[in-house]
Amino acid sequence: MPVGVWLSGGVDSSTLLHYAAEASSARLKTFSISFRGHSFDETDYIARWLPNTALSTKQLDLNPDQDLAGAIEKFAYYSDEPNADAGALPVGSSPV
């Protein structure tokens, strides 16, 4: 069964990725959100991990061209309950 890691480029997800890749005999998949052009974008940190761990990756650049309002509506509909987790929207909207 394939294993995927939500890679933000931060210390927590990078550490999990390191140990998961070390323990896995199969290629891992990563899923990331970028915010190109913004000070909080961690794309450079994400890119540092990919060649070192030979992973396949899916990355979505969250920008004004994305239908964010539509994604919020879909997320609210499918979540079926109130949700206060700000990180849930990018995860739920990530391309698989």
pLDDT digits (tens, 9 = 90+) for 3-20: 788 888 888 988 998 898
* pLDDT one-digit tens code per residue, 29-64: 888 888 888 888 888 888 887 777 766 788 888 877
What is the C-alpha separation between 59 and 96, in angstroms, rounded? 9
- Predicted pLDDT at 91: 59
Q: Where are the domains of the chain?
A: 4-64
- Non-local CB neighbours of 59 within 8 Å, separated by 6+ positions: 31, 32, 33, 34, 43, 46
Helix axes 43-53, 11-23, angle to 10 degrees: 10
* pLDDT one-digit tens code per residue, 75-93: 777 777 776 666 666 655 5
Q: Which residue, 42, 39, 52, is CA-closest to 9?
A: 42
Strand, coil or helix: 56: strand
